[in-house]
């Protein structure tokens, strides 16, 4: 049963709202007309277009595809049932869509990778194996890792060495399966004080030391704008180790065009570098309801409108 305030996917595409969208975004009906053709693989998350698509996750994938997006992401997909994971994988394959990095490990309260604790090492071993099995079901290429908190009682260089050793061990499990672990640097000023990994140069140095195709970077531009700025130069300096991006404007962590980050310039720069990976839309909406969901689509259409 559909809520009276919720439009179906077909009603959105073919109804009066789609007529407005067609003028402003290039999105038209399903009756043989063109969708918007995004230049990059921007990836909405489940729930971002719930007002239009409803609660069913497969319907949400269909709506996201019909709008023109070529990828999705779901941080919490490991917590979903095997049956649902398989249905998601089937839908993505049918629409030729990519799945962005899912969260494999992100404990913001634990001193984990910075230690030599055998129990932590065993936990990571078991988790990496679980991640490999999840990736096989989903045909997933990337899994996200946050190395946990730093240790106030241990010299920083020893912590860094421990992180590198633990990551090398993880790669011994991931690399044969072709699964790429992407390390996320998170800001310490607004959201996550106390974490070990905070900057792109730091992540780059660690990836170089680990020296594995299964250890790369997810560059979260929201977090890095807060932590260190210098977004485009850091993309250039670390590019060979970057496997994915996370998006969100600052302040507010909502869609592009709502804050200070010039996403149109950044998207053009990434496109010009030949990037063909996923850019996860890990942000909220500046407005509520149907209007807010349309504002997100409008923002990506506007920022994707750069010359090539």
The residues near 51 (Cβ < 8 Å, ≥ 6 apart) are: 5, 6, 7, 289, 290, 292, 293
The residues near 227 (Cβ < 8 Å, ≥ 6 apart) are: 185, 186, 187, 188, 189, 198, 199
Whether residue 127 lies inside any domain: the answer is yes
What's the CA gap between 270 and 249, in Å, rounded?
17
Q: Read off the pLDDT of residues 70-103 as tens digits, 9 standing for 90 and up.
A: 999 999 999 999 999 999 999 999 999 999 999 9
Q: What is the pLDDT of residue 23?
A: 34
Length of the chain: 308
Whether residue 5 lies inside any domain: the answer is no
Q: What is the pLDDT of residue 36?
A: 93
Q: What is the pLDDT of residue 35?
A: 82
- Look up the domain containing 216 and give its range: 36-303
| Residue pointed to by tokens 């850091």 | 234
The total domain count for the chain is: 1
What's the CA gap between 244 and 250, in Å, rounded?
19
Contact status, residue 20 vs residue 35, Cβ threshold 8 Å: no
CATH number, domain of 81, equals 3.20.20.150
Contact status, residue 265 vs residue 85, Cβ threshold 8 Å: no
What's the CA gap between 126 and 224, in Å, rounded?
31
Q: Read off the pLDDT of residues 205-226 as tens digits, 9 standing for 90 and up.
A: 999 999 999 999 999 999 999 9
Whether residue 190 lies inside any domain: the answer is yes
Whether residue 56 lies inside any domain: the answer is yes
What's the CA gap between 52 and 168, in Å, rounded?
44
What pTM was estimated for this model as a whole?
0.90
Provide the residue-wise pLDDT of the chain in tens; the chain has 308 residues: 444 344 444 444 444 344 334 334 433 333 223 489 999 999 999 999 999 999 999 999 999 999 999 999 999 999 999 999 999 999 999 999 999 999 999 999 999 999 999 999 999 999 999 999 999 999 999 999 999 999 999 999 999 999 999 999 999 999 999 999 999 999 999 999 999 999 999 999 999 999 999 999 999 999 999 999 999 999 999 999 999 999 999 999 999 999 999 999 999 999 999 999 999 999 999 999 999 999 999 999 999 999 99
Strands (E), the chain: 41-43, 71-72, 98-99, 102-106, 142-146, 180-184, 215-220, 242-246, 278-280
Q: What is the pLDDT of residue 14?
A: 42
Give the CA distances from residue 189 to residues 46, 67, 108, 151, 159, in Å, rounded to whole numbers and listed in that order: 28, 35, 14, 18, 21
Whether residue 23 lies inside any domain: the answer is no
Whether residue 24 lies inside any domain: the answer is no
Whether residue 1 lies inside any domain: the answer is no
| Residue pointed to by tokens 């044969």 | 176
Whether residue 27 lies inside any domain: the answer is no
């Amino acid at each position: 049963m559909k809520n009276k305030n919720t439009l179906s996917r077909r009603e959105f595409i073919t109804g009066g709202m789609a007529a407005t969208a067609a003028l402003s975004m290039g999105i038209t009906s399903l009756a043989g007309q063109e969708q918007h053709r995004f230049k990059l693989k921007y990836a909405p998350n489940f729930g971002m277009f719930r007002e239009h698509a409803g609660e069913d996750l497969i319907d949400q994938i269909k709506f996201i595809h019909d709008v023109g997006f070529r990828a999705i992401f779901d941080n919490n997909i490991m917590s979903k049932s095997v049956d649902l994971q398989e249905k998601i994988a089937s839908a993505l394959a049918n629409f030729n869509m990519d799945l962005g990095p899912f969260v494999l490990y992100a404990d913001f309260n634990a001193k984990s990778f910075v230690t030599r604790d055998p129990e932590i090492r065993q936990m990571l071993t078991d988790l990496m194996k679980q991640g490999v099995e999840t990736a096989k079901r989903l045909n997933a290429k990337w899994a996200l890792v946050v190395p946990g908190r730093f240790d106030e009682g241990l010299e920083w260089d020893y912590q860094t060495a421990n992180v590198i050793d633990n990551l090398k061990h993880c790669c011994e499990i991931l690399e044969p399966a072709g699964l790429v672990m992407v390390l996320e640097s998170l800001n310490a000023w607004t959201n996550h004080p106390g974490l070990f990994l905070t900057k792109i140069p730091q992540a780059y140095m660690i990836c170089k030391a680990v020296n594995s195709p299964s250890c790369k970077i997810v560059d979260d531009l929201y977090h890095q704008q807060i932590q260190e700025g210098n977004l485009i130069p850091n993309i250039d300096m670390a590019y060979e180790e970057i496997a994915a991006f996370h998006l969100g404007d600052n302040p507010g962590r909502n869609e592009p065009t709502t804050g200070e980050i010039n996403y149109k310039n950044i998207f053009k720069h990434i496109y010009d570098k030949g990037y063909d990976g996923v850019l996860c839309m890990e942000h909220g909406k500046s407005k509520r309801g149907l209007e807010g969901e349309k504002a997100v689509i409008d923002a990506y259409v506007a920022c994707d409108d750069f010359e090539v």
